[in-house]
Structure 1
Amino acid sequence: METPRPLAVFLAVATLLAAPAVVAAWSKGTATFYGGSDASGTMGGACGYGNLYSTGYGTATTALSQALFSGGASCGQCFQITCDSQTDGRWCRAGVSVTVTATNLCPPNYAVPSDNGGWCNPPRAHFDMAQPAWVQIGVYQGGIIPVLYQRVRCVKQGGVRFTITGFNHYELVLISNVGGSGSVASAWVQGTSTNRVPMSRNWGANWQSLAGIAGQALTFGVTTTGGQTIVFQNVVPVNWAFGMSFISNLQFSY
């Protein structure tokens, strides 16, 4: 059970760098579903977002096959998906699409063939979607459907969220609810008494720092894979503690 975390909203200063928007092109893949009709079983996951309701992702989510997951670099990306009725329309809900956020990994299963159960085996492009999202485009009894998909811009409610765990000289920061291109390419942290320190991806959407920054107000710089950079000035106040989350009032737009 996730421990409730206090939230604080603080002003931030943004530095925006011009960059191209997400370029979408339709590709072919397949999709299954997991969890129940209430998306039970879809919480947590390989991106580290935890409770998908409290972190703003809800049930419009998907796990990505290994080929799409890219070792966690795709965490937070948004995909528009529609059933490919021209390939096989038996289980399609024609003319509709759904937009989902990548929050998990669908791991390979090399014990079964890629075309008979090993849906997430490389190099397949496969989406294992939360059931409430999948049934918008597919008929429940079908189980697996061919799809067309494309990357799209993420539209999120509220600002970017920073959740800090670990201990001093080892800070693990979950960067979530990222709009625009959705996924983070790089990040840095700076305390009020320390220099700027580059962060590295630890796993999923968790970024780590080895700086001793406890007891300082923290500024984060985040660059998305779309090329937009925002500096979240003093988004974490001096009295923060490990396990706390902080929401900025700024959001990525492309």
Structure 2
Amino acid sequence: PDPTSPTVASTPVPTPSSSPTPDPTASTTAPIPSPSPTPDPTSSSSTPGPVPGPLPTTLDPTPVPSPSGPVENGELTWWTDSLSAVEGSSCEYSKTASIAQGSSWATPYVDPGFHCAVSDDLYDGGAGCGKCYHLVYDGVGGTNPATAGDAYVQVTNSGAGGTKHFDCFDDAFVALTGISTGIFPLSYYEVPCTYAAPTVVVLDGNNAYYVKVLVAGGETSVSAVTMYVNNIPYIMNRVSGATFSTSLSGLTGSAKFEVTFSDGLTEMIDDCFSGQWPVATSSQCQ
């Protein structure tokens, strides 16, 4: 420094003091909130929520039968809307003696009118009686303007003529086409029927030496029947349609029937007629 220069006092610049770092362990630190406890569902203080009720039955779809045969092409015609015509059908499901004591087998198809007469190839000498089919009309072709539709039907009669021919009761025909007249192409395939308890109906009764029966129900047609009287077997033969007969040896007492269906399944219909064979015409066992 120059000793001749006046001395100027310098103003000291204050040194900023650093802010203190907070002590995370200090009691002044704000507490970190902890998560709320999860209520104990078993605690008596818990308020139970509503218990869901059963789902509406409308959400449970009606099962659609799976095909049990190949898809075929055939012909559809209108048969009748007369119940008297059904009573005389060749499968004999609706004859007076058949239904005098009830007709549980008729509920799924015959009663609501979803059944058909068929051509000889489908009737098969009566072995086609009781089979069920899904019929489909796609709306294309035919003798009259019609709408597309489908129907599940059961075979109850013969005589439709031709081949692969379904001559259907009015209710089924309308479901298929929307009208009640005409000739139409269709596609079809066999399906299991809606199950009805197999039933044997005596059509020629009060005879210990001969019997004729109707066999109805199950999920398809009947291929064979064996009757047992006091455990003695008698193989029955098809008479026509869904009826079977056999000669007997005059035994009385217990009776039962072994029924074999066209799908190979067998059911035993036993404890028939309270062990009082022979029985009157129209007596039933299921």
2:139 is aligned with 1:100: no
Q: Which residue of 1 aligns with 2:200?
A: 162
- Decide whether the 8 Å contact of 2:78 with 2:180 is kept in 1: no
Tell me the number of residue pairs that the alignment of Structure 1 and Structure 2 aligns: 208
Q: Structure 1's 43 and 156: CA in aligned 2 closer, same or farther, altered over 3 A?
A: farther
Q: Does 2:144 match 1:144?
A: no
Equivalent position SS for 2:232? coil
Give the Cα–Cα distance (whole angstroms) in 2 for the partners of residues 101 and 215 of structure 1.
Answer: 36
Match of 1:236 among 273, 279, 282: 273
Question: Deviation string for 1:223-250 (max 9, x for gaps)?
Answer: 10101011122233223522133242xx
Cα RMSD, aligned residues only: 2.4
Distance (whole Å) between structure 1 residues aligned to residue 157 and residue 180 of structure 2? 24
Which gives a bigger RCO, structure 1 or 2 (Cα 8 Å, sep 6+)? 1
Kept in 2: contact 1:33–1:134 (CA 8 A): yes
Contact 2:227-2:236 within 8 A present in 1 as well: yes
- TM value normalised by structure 1: 0.73
**1:185 correspondence with 2:223:** yes
SS of the residue aligned with 1:243? coil
Q: Please give the secondary structure, in 2, of the residue aligned with 1:244.
A: coil
Is 1:43 equivalent to 2:82 in the alignment?
A: no
SS in 2 for 1:28: strand
Gaps of 5+ in 2: 1-65
**1:28 maps to amino acid:** N
* CA contact 1:29–1:126 (8 Å) conserved in 2: yes
Instruction: Name 2:137's counterpart in structure 1.
Output: 83
Percent identical among aligned pairs is 23
Check whether the contact 2:133–2:152 (CA below 8 A) recurs between aligned residues: yes
Q: In structure 1, how many angstroms separate the alpha carbons of the residues matched to 2:93 and 2:221?
A: 13
Corresponding residue for residue 21 of structure 2:
none
Give yes or no for the alignment of 1:28 onto 2:69.
Answer: no
Q: How many angstroms does 1:39 deviate by?
A: 4.4
How far apart are residue 142 of structure 1 and its match? Answer: 4.3
2:260 aligned with 1:223: yes
Q: Aligned partner of 1:46: which letter?
A: S
- Unmatched 5+ stretches in structure 1: 1-20, 108-119, 249-254
Q: For residues 239 and 147 of structure 1, do their structure 2 counterparts lie closer, same or farther at Cα, with a shift above 3 Å needed?
A: same
DSSP 3-state at the match of 1:50:
coil
Q: Deviations over 1:90-122 (max 9, x none)?
A: 64432x311111010025xxxxxxxxxxxx13x
**Partner amino acid for 1:99?**
Y
Kept after mapping to 1: 8 A contact 2:129/2:157: yes
Structure 1 CA distance for aligned equivalents of residues 91 and 280 of structure 2: 19
| TM-score normalised by structure 2 residue count | 0.66
Aligned CA distance change for structure 1 residues 45 and 141 (closer, same or farther; 3 Å): closer
